Amino acid sequence: MALVGDSYEYYDKRFYDLTVPIAEVEELFDGCRWAEGPVWFNEHATLVWSDIPNRRLLRWIEGQGVSVFRHESNYANGNTRDRQGRLVSCEHGGRRVTRTEPDGTLTVIADSYKGKRLNSPNDVVVKSDGTIWFTDPNYGIMSDYEGYKADMEQAGCFVFRADPATGALDIVADDFVKPNGLAFSPDETILYVADSARSHDPDGPHHIRALDVGADGRLSGSRVFCEVDPGVPDGFRLDTDGNLWTSCGNGVICFAPDGTPLGRIRIPQTVANVTFGGPKRNRMFITATKSLYAVYLATTGAQTP
C-alpha cells in the first residue's frame, strides 16, 4: 500500500474542513488499463470497479485485497447500486444497462430506445424512487478499445431515465455533446450532469451542468455549474453538504454548492471516477487510469449512491 505525499491544493479555507491534511492518498491497486465505475458495498466491505479494456469487474475487499469479480464484463464502465443493494452497470459492449440479481443473473434495464440500439451507456445513478438515470455518449463505439466499433443508431448522445417498475425509458436531456458522469444533490432537487466532449474536441465542453428535477421527473433550468480544467469532468459524487467532487486531470477537484472551487487532491494519474465508501462513508475511492486510489476525508458521502 503505497502512500502518495503532498496530496492537497487549497483554494479556499473551507477545504481544510473537508480534508484530513495528514491523510495521504494511498494506491490500492495498479494493474488496470483504464479504471472507472467505483461502487461501495458496505455490507460486504467491498469496492467494485471496472477495468474497461480488460473486460473485467474487479473487487477490493478491506483486509483481503483485490480479486476478479466478473470476467467477462462486456466492457462495463459506470457502476452504482440500487436501493435494494443490487449492482447496476453500464456495458459498452452490450450497449446496455444491466442489474445483477442476488443469484448473479443479469436483468437488462435498457438496451434500445424506439427500436434503435443505445450508443454505449457510460454512467448511472439510482434515485430514491427506484428510477435509473444514465448517460449514453458514444465513447464505447468509437473504437474497439473500450467496446465494439460501430455507428451510432441514436440521433444523439442523450441522458435517459429508466423506470424498472413500468419498463418505461425516457430521454430527460438531449442537448449534451458527450454526457458522462451524473449525480443528484443530497435532496434530489438537482441533477448534475457532466459534458466531457473536450476529450475528443479541444473546443468541446468540459463542464458540469445543474438541472432542476421536477416532481414529475422532468428536468428544467439547465445551467453551467462549473467548468473543469485541466482535463474533463468524467465521474463525480457529492458529499452530505452538497459539495461536488469530480475528476480534474491528474486530480480530484471539489466545488462548493455555489460552484466555487475549494481545493484539489493530487493523484499521480488521470482520474476518471470517484465514490465515497468505507463503514463511515468518509473514504474516497478514486479510479485513475491504471490504478485504484483511496483517501480519508473529513466529510462523508451523500446517501444517494
Binding site for Mg ion (CB under 5 A): 122-123, 180, 234-235
Helix (H), strand (E) at residue 212: strand 207-213
- Residue with Cβ nearer Mg ion (18 or 57): 57
d(CA 194, CA 196): 6
Q: Measured from the CB of residue 233, what is the shortest distance to Mg ion in angstroms?
A: 9
CA dihedral 223, 265, 302, 174 (to 10 degrees): 30
Q: Which is nearer to Mg ion, 135 or 299 (CB)?
A: 135
Which triple of cell numbers denotes residue 176?
A: 449534451
Minimum separation from the CB atom of position 165 to Mg ion (A): 26
How many CB atoms are closer than 10 A to CB 224? 12
Shortest spacing between CB 140 and Mg ion, in angstroms: 10
DSSP for residue 139:
G
Output the smallest distance, CB 42 to Mg ion, in A.
Answer: 23
Q: Is the dihedral of CA 300, 301, 304, 305 positive or negative?
A: negative
25 and 2 in contact (C-beta within 8 Å)? no
Question: Grid coordinates in use for 83?
Answer: 436501493
Nearer to Mg ion, 79 or 180 (CB): 180
CA neighbours closer than 13 Å in the CB half-sphere of residue 118: 32
Closest separation in Å from C-beta 288 to Mg ion: 13
State how far the alpha carbon of 72 is from the alpha carbons of 8, 119, 167, 227, in Å.
37, 20, 26, 36
Q: How far is the CB of 194 from Mg ion (least distance, A)?
A: 8
| Residue number with CB closer to Mg ion (18 or 159) | 159
- Taking the least distance from each CB to Mg ion, the nearer of 180 and 275 is 180
Which residue's CB is nearer to Mg ion, number 140 or number 278?
Answer: 140
